[in-house]
Amino acid sequence: MKQKIVFPRFDAELNTDVCDAYNNAELTLTVRMGFSQINPAAGADEGTYHDYGNAAKPARKIIKWTPATWKAWKDTFCSSVQAFWSDKFWLINDAGSFLYTAKDAQVYVPNVWCRLKVIGQEGAAANNHHSIDVVRLHPSVKWFGSHEHLYDSKDINSVEKNRDSHGKKVMQQAHVHEFGHILGLGHVDIGKAHCPASGDTNASACYGVSDVDMNSVMGSGMQLRLEHAAPWREAVRAFSVGEVFSGSASPIDLLMPLARLVVGGNTLFAVWPAKMKRHYPRTSAEAAAGTLITAPPKRGAK
């Protein structure tokens, strides 16, 4: 079965048709990105554009987009973001949701594989989840002041963002970091004393003070962490609770969580812990025992 829930930041689709004794359910978040060109004024080949789109800030040299460079940039944006964020997390099914009977007649508790699909379309499209304007920088320009709705052509490059305690460069591709925000993720150090959630969470300290935090993709680096599975966890909880209300599972599962404990969990209190390694579907007994299966298990007939 394929089910869909529309969230403000993305559409989520849960596919349990792919489930068998070895394969988990797939949860795909789809983000429609709208792209609009910013070109030099009056059709000129070259011009300038100010950092952050603010006339009081430095003007940078820009050049006109061509159809080929525009298409290449959008394609690279979408493919590189998708390659970075998709297929990296598995959510452990501690809710006992989405049970299915495989061909070996065994009932399985599927985990959830977290996938991402990024669709690039015109900036004016009505159904975009997020839209950005993009300037094409002159080859001589090394940097431009971007923000969440204003990018530059070099934002897909890996550039030095920070220096760790050993003086080592911490590199980042800005668009990959920004896409984390599009998914709903905040900066790595939000909530710590040097980056209170009540303050401006764009302060440099929020990008990570310790070397470990600095290297997070939601800091100044490119490392994924388990907490970055939060958007998929949010979505799967909605499907899990929705399963009960839609009649796919009994409402008694919500009222009497103990009923779910026979397969190791219940819908309301489920955490859906994230892992960064494939975890295979479990039998009810394995789920109840809390067993995690990371190597291909021996199952009955496929």
Partner 1 sequence: MNTGAKISLTAILGAACLTVAIAVLLTGGANAGKAKKEDCSMDAISQSICVYRLILDDIDAKVTMRGGGGVTSIIQKSDDLFEARLAQEGHEDIRSYQMDLTDGDKPKIKAVTESTKSY
Helix (H, G, I), strand (E, B) or coil at 158: strand
Q: Smallest distance, Å, CB 121 to partner 1?
A: 24
DSSP letter, residue 155: G
Please answer whether residues 232 and 183 qualify as being in contact, where contact means their C-beta atoms are separated by less than 8 angstroms: no
| Cα(37)–Cα(70) distance, integer angstroms | 8
Q: Cβ closer to partner 1: 59 or 83? A: 59
Shortest Å, Cβ 126 to partner 1 = 26
We find the least distance from the C-beta atom of residue 150 to partner 1, in angstroms, to be 8
What's the helix, strand, coil split of the chain in %, to 5?
Answer: 25, 25, 45
CA distances from 44 to 11, 62, 64, 283 (A): 39, 10, 7, 65
- Give the C-alpha separation, 25 to 2, whole Å: 10
- Residue 302 has a CB neighbour count (10 Å cut-off) of 9
Closest approach of partner 1 to the CB of residue 119, in Å: 24
| Distance in Å, CB of 229 to partner 1, minimum | 24
Distances, alpha carbon 38 to alpha carbons 34, 53, 134, 149, 189, in Å: 13, 11, 6, 12, 33
Given the rule CB under 8 A, which residues bind partner 1?
A: 51-54, 57-58, 143-148, 155, 159-164, 169, 172, 174, 200, 202-205, 207, 214, 220
Tell the smallest beta-carbon distance from residue 177 to partner 1 (Å): 8
Indicate the residue among 7 and 52 with the shorter CB distance to partner 1: 52
Which is closer to partner 1, CB of 205 or CB of 259?
Answer: 205
- By beta-carbon proximity to partner 1, the closer residue of 49 and 207 is 207
Q: Rounded CA gap, 2 and 140, in Å?
A: 49
CB of 290 to partner 1, least distance (A): 42
Q: Which is nearer to partner 1, 53 or 242 (CB)?
A: 53
* Cβ atoms 193, 95 nearer than 8 A: no
Nearer to partner 1, 55 or 105 (CB): 55
Nearest to partner 1 of 52, 100 (CB atom): 52
CA–CA separation, 297 vs 280, rounded Å?
Answer: 8
